[in-house]
Amino acid sequence: MAIRITALVALALTSSAVASVHAEDFKASCAALAQGFSGSGRIVAAEFVAAGGVQLAPPAPAGVTGPAPDHCLIRGRINERTGIDGKPYAIGYELRLPATWNGKFFFQGGGGVDGVLRPALGLVTGVTPPNGLSNGYAVASTDSGHLEEPGALGPYLFGLDPQARRDKGYSSIPPVAAAAKAATEKLYGNAPRRSYFVGCSNGGRQAMAVTQRFPELFDGVIAGAPAYRVPLAGIDVIAQEQALLAIAPPGADGKADVGSALTDDDLKTVADAVITACDAADGAKDGMVQDVMACRFDPAVLACKDGQTSQCLPDAKLKAVRLMFDGSRNSMGQLIYARWPYDPGLAAPGWRAWKLGTPKSSPPNARNLTLIPGGVAYDFMSPPEKPDDLVAWVRNFDLNRDPPKVMKGAGGFDAGMEYEAATSTDLDAFKAKGGKMLLYHGAADPIFSALDTIDYVDQLKTKYGADTDGFARLFLVPGMNHCGGGPATDQFDLLSALDTWVEGTGSAPESIRATARRAPDVPWPGRTRDICAFPKVLAYKGTGSLEDAASFECR
C-alpha cells in the first residue's frame, strides 16, 4: 500500500492510534519494495529502521553515528556484470526514505576513490545536524560501481576495468537517481518535487559533473572542495611529495620519514608569518585571513639568517614550501595544475594528514603518498600503471613524461581528464532549467586548491557575464582544510540556502552564517562569521566583539 506522506505532513496527527496506523502502513509499504521498482536492479535489502543512530562509514571510528528518523532502508545492485579483469562489478546503492517526507530528494556524493557504500543519511560537510534524512529528504548514496578490495592497493584495482572507471567518473549517477525517484513514487505515491546533489571532494566533483553531463537530473547542487581536475591536482601533489621526500630525515628503518620533513614548529612558523602579513587587511587582527586573493605573502622572509635556528626555515625547507604553494611546473615552465593560497590553516592537523602524515610512521601514511598516487597510477593513467611500491613510484614520477598519460585514452582505457574531470563551462541546459549551484572551498585545503575553484568560477563569468551570479555562487572558507577542519568557522548550512534559492522563496545567498566548532585545532570555539559570496570578502566594521559575526560585513 503506497502512502502519500506529503498528505501526512499537512495532517496534524491528533492521536497515537492514528500515528500507529500510519506507521504500520509505512512498514508494510517499505517491505513491499523488496519486490523491486523501476530500475531497481537486484534488491538486497528492504526494511523498516526505527529512529536512532546509524553507524557512519570508515574512516569514522566505531560508535560514531549519525541521527536518523523512522525510515525505510533499501539496498540494491544495478548492472551486475563481470569486468575485463574477471571480477564481479555492480553499481551498489542505498536509499533511506523517511516516514515523514518533505517531497524532496537528496543524492549524497561520494569521496576518495569511492568503492564504499556509505549510509545515505544526507550528510553535508559543514552543516550542523540534523542531516538531510532528519530534515525529511529521501536520500541516496552509491559505491559508484565498485567495491574496495583488501590490501594497500585494493582501493585502486577497479581502475583496471574501463567500465568501472566510467562508472566511478559519472555513469553510475543516472541509474541510481532514476531508481531512487522510482522508489519514492512507489512508496509515497509521488515522485520528488525537487532533487539536489550534494558532495565534497570527489562528491563535489560529481556535483559539478551532473550540471555538465546530466543537467536534467537535479534542480540544485552543492559542490564542496570540488576535485574537478583531480588527475592534474594529483600530479601536482605528487611533485610536492617528491620535494618532501628529498628533505625528509631518515627514519628508524633508514627510509625517508616524510612525516618529519616539516615539523609542527615549521608549520606554525609559516602560519604565524602569514597571519603577520595578511591578517589585519580586513581591519581585525583575529587570526583569520579573509581575503586570500590580496594576501601577498613571500616565504623568503622566513629564510634563516647566520646562526639562526628557530622561527625560520633553512634553504631546503624553504624551497619545498615555495613549491607547495607556487605549484609544480614541467621543464618548459608550464604550470601543471594551480597555485595555492597561503592561509594559517596550513598548521592544522588536517593539513598535515594529507601532506606529511604522522612523524616516524613506517610506511609513510601521508594521504598524498597513498590515496593520490594509487588513484593516479591505477585510475587516471591510460593505460593504467600498476606499481607495487607507491613511494618508489612517486620518486620516479616525471613531470615531463607522465602527465600526458592522464590526458588522453589509450589501450581501451579512457584517461582521467576524459571521464573524471568536470571542466566544462557549458551549463546552458542547467541554467535554462533554473538550476542553482553553490560551491564552497576551504582556503587551507591541502589537496585541491581554492584558487583552482576560483578559476572555474571566473571561466563561468567569462562565458555568462553578470548572469553567473544568478545560478552559481562560490563561498571561500578562511582557515578550513579539506571539506572541514582547521582554525575555521566551518559549521554552516548550505542546504537550506540552496533549497530556499531553488524554491524561489529567497534570493541568491550573499552570505552564509558560520560557527567555529569546539575542537583542539580551533583557538576560538563558538566564534561566528559570515562567509561571503565571492569575490566579496568579510571586513570588520571597526567596533564590536571579534567573536561575533555582527561586527563584520561583506564588502
Q: Which residues are designated catalytic?
A: 201, 445, 482
Find cell 582556503 and name the residue.
Answer: 443
Find cell 560508535 and name the residue.
Answer: 63
Question: Which residues does 309 contact at the CB level (< 8 Å), separation at least 6?
Answer: none
Ranges assigned E (strand) in 150-292: 194-200, 220-224
Residues forming a β-bridge with 54 = 66
Question: Which residues does 345 contact at the CB level (< 8 Å), separation at least 6?
Answer: 271, 351, 442, 443, 444, 478, 479, 480, 481, 486, 487, 488
Give the DSSP per-residue string, 198-219: EEETHHHHHHHHHHHH-TTS-S
Q: What is the C-alpha separation between 289 and 351, in angstroms, rounded?
A: 16
For residue 97, give the amino acid letter. L
Q: What is the C-alpha separation between 158 and 359, in angstroms, rounded?
A: 31
Residues forming a β-bridge with 340 = none
The SS3 of residue 45 is strand
The SS3 of residue 74 is strand
Contact between 439 and 473 (Cβ < 8 Å) = yes
Ranges assigned E (strand) in 383-502: 436-442, 472-477, 491-492
**What is the H or E stretch that residue 175 is in?**
helix 173-188
Question: Which residues does 478 contact at the CB level (< 8 Å), separation at least 6?
Answer: 288, 289, 290, 292, 343, 345, 443, 444, 488, 489, 529
Q: What are phi and psi of 48, to 5 degrees?
A: -80, 135
C-alpha cell at 535: 569575490
Q: What are phi and psi of 218, to 5 degrees?
A: -130, 145
